[in-house]
Structure 1
Amino acid sequence: MATVALRSTAGKWVMVSAILASAMAFIDSTALNVVLPSLQKSLQATGADLFWILNAYLLMLASLILIGGSLGDRLGRKKVFMAGIFIFICGSAACGLSPGVTFLIVFRIIQGIGGALMIPGSLSLISSSINEQERGKAIGTWSAFTTVVTMGGPILGGALGDAGLWRYIFFINVPIGIAALVMLWFKVKESRDEGSGHALDFPGAIAIALGLALVTFGFLRIPAVGLANWQVYTTLSVGVLLLVAFVVIEAKSKHPMVPLHLFANATFSGANLLSFFLYAGLGAGMLFLSLNLVQVQGYSQLQSGLTFLPFTIMMISLARFAGTLADKYGPRLLLIIGPAAAGTGLLILSFIKQTNGPSDYWTSFFPGVIVFGLGMSFTVAPLTTAVMGSVSDHFSGTASGVNNAVTRIANVFANAIFGALAVLFFTGALQHKLADVKLKPQYQQEALAQAADLGNAKVPANIQSSNKAVIEKYYHESFIAAYANIMRISAALGFLGALMAVIFVKNSAVKKE
């Protein structure tokens, strides 16, 4: 296919349609975290329900994103991109109309299928449509615009959540998606890889999708039924076996979703391990920080969204500078310092107890957010440089797809494992505190059962009013104890990411632009 100049009319239409569709997905993910408390109250969702609402989408995205890119190469990038957008906006509209938690989880699965076709399609369309000399600039432009738009996600989510309009987080995707579809239909030409005649790796896609689903389900069931229950050990065992089968399938496949020989490169493997640990810590840390701010610290959802503003401003301001440093000196040092700083920021945030609300923000949460934001700002661009620069140009698309899938899988595991751990930590702390309150065994069990709702735990109605204030205080203290443990584990994951850079990443293995 003939490529076009970035500044040409055709080039501008490609860029605007790709940015609109990508922004839709990014706004959805960042805004949803902020409105979770409002959603939880509205639908009477438990803590486990919240994690399934997040994971249903992430699970489909992580499982199918590689095959989504392959379909685009074979069937036509514009066609598959448009199909993804259409499925995503249909899923979004259905999510907004969901009458209950189960429906919302099912419709989030539909959103995830659309996202798996849509998200790889945006960069793929840019890479195949814009001429080679301006491709880097085009991707940089896409990154800058989507980051700016993403910055509005938590603020928009907070404002809608406070107004009781959390459903509009989903509805807002519909007009954006329709605008992107109209542009693509009338203004953008089709693009496909004419040399891509090979079959798609359906066995690999099925194995990883089912494996991740079963492992996630197993971890989410632990708080409800315990580790020794057959539902847990059966699903975890079968899930792990399927993930092992995925590796075997990829090793034997003529056209694998993930060419395993790429992992023979220590820098490529190390950069992806770094991505896994860091993004698992990032996902868990940001989620529990949002829940803590609204459910325990007394922030409105808009105020909670605004607390992430310094983080995003630093990402916009410093990411390009970090990329320049990585090009000039190599990414290794930045990939050691950045994740370590991010881990330090999460560690600082873990020590915050009960505050007086937003008036204490500058002396409580702000320092940790700044250190965490600095760490991530100096990591993201060098990490991309390490992943893309450690493989030959022929595998650059595959390398990008693998790294994208790794970050999504990290979020799935973080939400599943940390969700289960949070309930266990909360229950353990609450059990210890309730020993000081004179309650009948039945009432004590009812009070403990609320731990599944985490920060949204409510004192059971049949407990004496003289004990209600004490138990509500214990709920807050128990959540803060669980939050502190989760943030410290998240910090450890950041430090583990830095260790991966120390061990595996070599500047000599990364080709210069």
Structure 2
Amino acid sequence: MSQDVVAGDQRIRSASASAATGRRGNPWWALVSVALGVIMVGLDGTVVSIANPRIAQDLGASLTDLQWITNSYLLALAALLIFGGNLGDRYGRKKIFLIGVVGFGLTSLAIGLVGNIIGIIVLRALQGAFGAMLMPNTLAILRGAFPPKELNQAIGIWSGASSVSIAAGPILGGLLVEHVSWESVFYINVPMGAIALLVGLAVLNESRSESIRQRHDVPGILTLSGGLFVLIFGLIKASGWGWTDAKTIGFIVVGLAVLALFTVIETRVAAPLLPMRLFANRSISVSSAVLVINFFALFGVLFFVTLYLQNVQRASPIATGVHILPLTLAMMVMGPISGRVVEQFGPRPPMAVGLALSGVALLLLTRLQVSSGFNTLWPSLLMLGIGMGLVITASAEAIIGNAPVDDAGVAGGLQTTALQLGGVVGTAVLGSILTSRVASVLVDRLTGAGTPADVANHLAGSTELISQGVAPTVTDSSASVQAAVNAGSHSAFMTGLHTSLVVAGVATLVAAALSLLVRRGANTEGAPVVVH
């Protein structure tokens, strides 16, 4: 380490120590501030999943519409998180974080007021763009505020705050949807955002990277965002077009080609949006891939298990939240615990164990049937929550801890991009797999349940509806025929769900093997410049 870096680090620590006697500059108050932002984003993710069935009823949304309500938000996050981290490194992490907080709250209010599916999808994308300013800078702020020996503990609490919001989301969302309206699940972000803004203004110091002085990497921004959009659009539409359709293949190929062009651009510009040197570190590249796979499984499974509970088992929104609690509470408890585990053993053991637990849990969920009780569900969800809690903290340490401090914002953006990209791909790919499988077995399941052949063939066009776990209503039919349609439709949905769970479980076990290549980060390369 150079003398200049050491001297700079000493000045930062001295300044932090003098400020720590009050709220401003105290690292633990900084953790409170960023945790409020993380909680706001976490609540939004889980309450929306609870609201999806009611949105579909009130606004006539299809399965594809519901996927886009989720994916437009996640896609904007995935495409812009690295840029959001870069903005924080360049202009100040506190400033960009607080702009993200304000924008997230205002777009949440607009989503509740807009009143149509297209408006919701567009505003969800805008909400994701503000989330992309908020999330990566939370980790960058922590990296600058905490000394190395306390950083893992802070990241563990950061992870725990996210899990608290995930745990509270289904219950709060169920209460709001059932007793107020589905719009109210978005309104809750307005007071949360106001509190996060006031606390952030009061306690955060400004920090930025002094090494960034060049102009923005506009070609990099355009190719990364454009490539991700085209690729994910093709994956989402594959369920309707078919995986071998020329349009599906065309979008996927073009998206991959644009992303390849992005990597070429990043190796040639003076100030790249995503420095390719980060991926020369094996732990960063492997941890990013592992996170994509891990949240590919989690987001996809949560999306469809929620539909299973509400549409197949007819659980209320509140009951659905209670059923998912083993997962979310386990993630909440494991956040702080996993910070201590990572501190003692490094990221590799908890990451490998967490992924293995998650993979096994996903495979065990294939035991679910139409009439399964809670005892079939909760052990797998508990195991999945423990695994996820370990992986989130371990992967954050592996990525943030192995990145140079001047790239703290970009590294935070990379970590959150991997997480959100996994969520986008999970809901898109696993949704397409479920829909395709439902289409392939639907007529057989209907006739096997006693549905007349002519009715079964007529219902073959109802794949989109049945893929949500909803049995279509057959007009002018007897009660016995409708009962057969219900049984056959739910059986087809469960077959599709099981196939998606197997794919998610196997992918997660592959990620567990990859995680053995990860190592502990040095986390000792100075600190960002603090601006008082």
Give the letter for the 2:366 counterpart: S
CA distance in structure 1 between the aligned counterparts of 2:205 and 2:352, rounded to whole angstroms: 42
2:94 to 75, 78, 81: 78
Which residue pairs with 2:504 in the alignment? Answer: 490
Look up the match of 1:30: 46
Shift of 1:347: 0.7
Distance in 2, matches of 1:438 and 1:352, equals 23
Measured in 2, the distance between the counterparts of 1:59 and 1:423 equals 21
Contact 1:38 1:164 in 2 (8 A): no
Of the structure 1 ranges 249-258 and 489-498, higher mean CA displacement relative to structure 2 is found in 249-258
The size of the alignment, in residue pairs, is 505
- Are 2:68 and 1:57 equivalent residues in the alignment? no
The one-character-per-residue Cα deviations of 1:280-336 (angstroms, maximum 9, x if unpaired) are 111112222211111112322112112232223333333433333333333323322
What amino acid maps onto 1:202 in structure 2? V
State the distance in 1 between where 2:523 and 2:211 align: 28
Structure 1 partner of 2:468: 455
Which blocks of at least 5 consecutive residues in structure 1 are unaligned?
Answer: none
Partner of 1:467: 481
Deviation at 1:500, TM superposition (A): 0.5
Corresponding residue number in structure 2 for 1:387:
399
1:119 maps to 135
Deviation at 1:63, TM superposition (A): 0.6
Q: In structure 1, what is the equivalent of residue 379 of structure 2?
A: 367
TM-aligned CA distance change 1:395 to 1:15, over 3 Å:
closer
Q: 1:253 to 1:119 in 2, by over 3 A?
A: same
Encode CA deviations 1:44-92: one digit per residue, 9 max, x unaligned. 2111111111000000101111111111222233332232222212211
- Give the deviation of 1:257 after TM superposition: 2.0
Q: What secondary structure sits across from 1:9 in the alignment?
A: coil
Amino acid of the residue matched to residue 462 of structure 1? T
1:479 aligns with 2:493: yes
What is the distance in 1 between the residues matched to 2:378 and 2:149? 41
Distance 1:277 1:167, change over 3 A: same
Give the corresponding residue for 2:338: 322
Map 1:4-23; keep pairs closer than 5 Å: 5-6=19-20, 8-10=22-24, 11=26, 14-23=30-39
- Work out which of the residue numbers 366, 374, 378 in structure 1 matches 2:390: 378
Distance 2:298 2:20 in 1: 34
One-letter amino acid matched to 1:493: A
CA deviation digits over 1:7-27, x for unaligned, max 9?
A: 622247644443322211110
User: What's the C-alpha RMSD, in Å, of the aligned pairs?
Assistant: 2.6
Alpha carbons of structure 1 residues 353 and 187: separation in structure 2 relative to 1, 3 Å: closer
Of residues 129, 145, 148 in structure 1, which corresponds to 2:164? 148
Q: Confirm or deny: 8 A CA contact 2:93 2:208 kept in the other structure.
A: yes
Residue 245 (structure 1) shift: 1.1
Amino acid of the structure 2 residue aligned with 1:290: T
Task: Describe the superposition over 1:365-405 as per-residue Cα deviations: whole angstroms up to 9, x where unpaired.
Answer: 01211222232233332222332343444544433321221
SS at the partner of 2:181?
Answer: coil
Deviation at 1:197, TM superposition (A): 1.0
Contact 1:129–1:191 (Cα < 8 Å) also in 2: no
1:262 CA drift (Å): 2.2
* Aligned partner of 1:239 among 248, 255, 259: 255
Whether 1:313 aligns to 2:329 is yes
Residue by residue, what CA displacement relative to the aligned partner does 1:186-206 show, whole Å, maximum 9, x if unpaired?
Answer: 665544334421222221121
Distance 2:246 2:197 in 1: 47
Closer, same or farther: CA 170–100 of 1 in aligned 2, 3 Å: same
**In structure 2, distance between residues paired with 1:460 and 1:297:** 17
Indicate yes or no: 2:190 matched with 1:163: no
Q: 3-state DSSP class of the match of 2:468?
A: helix
Amino acid at match of 2:507: L
Q: State the SS of the aligned residue for 2:114.
A: coil
Deviation at 1:113, TM superposition (A): 1.1
CA distance in 1 between partners of 2:388 and 2:196 (Å)? 30
In 2, Cα distance between equivalents of 1:471 and 1:211: 42
Distance in structure 1 (CA, Å) of the matches to 2:511 and 2:439: 30
- Provide closer, same or farther for how the CA distance between residues 43 and 266 of structure 1 changes in structure 2, counting only shifts above 3 A: same
Tell me which moved more, 303-312 or 109-118: 303-312
Paired position in structure 2 for 1:66: 82
Number of the residue aligned with 2:522: 511
Distance in 1, matches of 2:324 and 2:420, equals: 21
Deviations, residues 221-249 of structure 1 (Å, cap 9, x unaligned):
22323345443233222212111111111
Tell me which residue corresponds to 2:445: 433
Provide the residue aligned with 1:297 in structure 2: 313
Shift of 1:261: 2.3
SS of residue matched to 2:459: helix
**Aligned-partner residue type, residue 219 of structure 2:** P
Letter in 1 for 2:446: L
Q: What is the alpha-carbon distance in structure 2 between the residues aligned to residue 481 and residue 440 of structure 1?
A: 20
Deviates more, 1:264-273 or 1:346-355: 264-273
Q: Return the TM-score normalized by structure 1.
A: 0.90
Distance, in Å, in 2 between the alignment partners of 1:111 and 1:134 is 32
Equivalent residues of 2:311, 2:469 under 8 A apart:
yes
Residue by residue over 1:87-143, the C-alpha shift from the partner in whole angstroms, topping out at 9 and shown as x without a partner, is 212211121123221111011011011111122233334444567786665555444
Aligned AA (2:522): K
Q: 1:261 aligns with which of 267, 277, 283?
A: 277
> Which one is further off, 387-396 or 306-315?
387-396
* Structure 1 residues 510 and 423: CA distance shift in structure 2, 3 A: same
Q: Judging changes above 3 Å, is the alpha-carbon distance between structure 1 residues 459 and 181 closer, same or farther for their aligned structure 2 residues?
A: same
In 1, Cα distance between the equivalents of 2:275 and 2:506? 30
What TM-score does the superposition give when structure 2 sets the normalisation length? 0.87
State how far apart, in whole Å, the 2-side matches of 1:336 and 1:15 are. Answer: 27
CA contact (8 A) 2:361 2:380 kept: yes
Residues in 2 aligned to 1:173 and 1:372: alpha-carbon distance in whole angstroms: 27
Residue 208 of structure 2 aligns to a residue whose secondary structure is coil
DSSP-derived class of the 1:459 partner: coil
Alpha-carbon distance between aligned partners in 1 of 2:161 and 2:335, rounded to the nearest angstrom: 13
Residues 456 and 57 of structure 1, relative CA distance in 2, 3 Å threshold: same
**Once the 2 structures are TM-superposed, how far is the Cα of residue 180 of structure 1 from its aligned partner?**
2.7
Q: Is the 8 A contact 1:6 1:138 kept in 2?
A: no
Cα separation, 1, equivalents of 2:343 and 2:157: 18
Separation in structure 2 between the aligned mates of residue 21 and residue 318 of structure 1, nearest angstrom: 20
C-alpha distance in structure 2 between counterparts of 1:278 and 1:397, whole Å: 22
Structure 1 position 102 matched with structure 2 position 114: no
Contact kept in structure 1, 2:89 and 2:406, CA below 8 Å? no
Distance across 2 between alignment mates of 1:133 and 1:181:
28
| Conserved? CA contact 1:6–1:130, under 8 Å | no
